């Protein structure tokens, strides 16, 4: 058995139209499917491609609370401020970022209208591992 990667991420949202706006107009996703009144799954749904990832949104009750569970999307550092401005214009709520070690990349955290947390991140896993290895004496990469 082999897992080949992530197939898709599904988010339950109260207002499909509002979240579609966030995904497509603010984050730049391509909308590829709208169920309309049909329900092949549990409820009305829409599909998007964002950075090559299939994002599905389905109509339903929003999350009751905000947590640190999140989906992170990779962006170039030069685009971080552009995304901050787009999110502010869409009246998206930001979450304060965590303390960072220099070199692990920058992040912008924001909650959507249904309490899902998204991170726009400028680093990579390799950046993070190299940074931790250089800053924590007892750190040892698992692949060595």
The answer on 143 and 80 residing in a single domain is yes
The answer on 98 and 69 residing in a single domain is yes
- Predicted pLDDT of residue 144: 43
The answer on 86 and 123 residing in a single domain is yes
- Predicted pLDDT of residue 5: 78
The answer on 100 and 32 residing in a single domain is no
The answer on 52 and 4 residing in a single domain is yes
Domain CATH number, residue 101 = 3.10.180.10
Show the low-confidence residues of the chain (pLDDT under 50).
139, 141, 144
Query: Among all residues, which ones are annotated catalytic?
Result: 45
Number of domains in the chain: 2
- Predicted pLDDT of residue 46: 94
- Predicted pLDDT of residue 100: 66
The answer on 46 and 103 residing in a single domain is no
Distance between CA atoms of 33 and 29, rounded to whole angstroms? Answer: 12
Distance between CA atoms of 45 and 38, rounded to whole angstroms? Answer: 9
Listed in sequence order, the residues at least 6 apart from 19 whose beta carbon sits closer than 8 Å to its beta carbon are 11, 13, 57, 112, 113, 114
By the 10 Å C-beta count (0-12 exposed, 13-18 middle, 19+ buried), 62 is classed as: middle
3-state secondary structure of 7: coil
Phi-psi region of 36 (alpha: psi -120 to 50; beta: other; left: phi over 0): left
Q: What count of other Cβ atoms lies within 10 Å of the Cβ of residue 27?
A: 23
**pLDDT 10s digits, 44-78:** 999 999 999 999 999 999 899 999 889 999 999 99
Q: What count of other Cβ atoms lies within 10 Å of the Cβ of residue 105?
A: 19
The answer on 125 and 71 residing in a single domain is yes
The answer on 67 and 37 residing in a single domain is no
| Percent of the chain that is helix, strand, coil (3-state, to 5) | 25, 30, 45
**Which residues span the domain enclosing 116?**
63-144
pTM score, two decimals?
0.78
């Amino acid at each position: 058995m082999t897992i080949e990667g992530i197939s898709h991420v599904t988010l339950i949202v109260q207002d499909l139209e509002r979240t579609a706006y966030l995904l497509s107009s603010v984050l730049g996703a391509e909308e590829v499917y709208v169920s309309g009144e049909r329900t092949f799954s549990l409820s009305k749904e829409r599909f998007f491609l964002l950075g090559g990832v299939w994002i599905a949104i389905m109509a339903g009750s929003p999350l009751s609370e905000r947590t640190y569970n999140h989906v992170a999307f990779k962006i170039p550092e030069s685009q971080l401020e552009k995304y901050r401005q787009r999110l502010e214009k869409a009246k998206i709520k930001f979450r304060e970022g965590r303390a960072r070690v220099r070199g692990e990349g920058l992040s912008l955290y924001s909650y959507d209208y249904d309490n899902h947390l998204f991170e726009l991140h400028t680093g990579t896993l390799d950046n993070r591992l190299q940074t931790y290895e250089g800053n924590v004496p007892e750190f040892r990469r698992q692949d060595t």
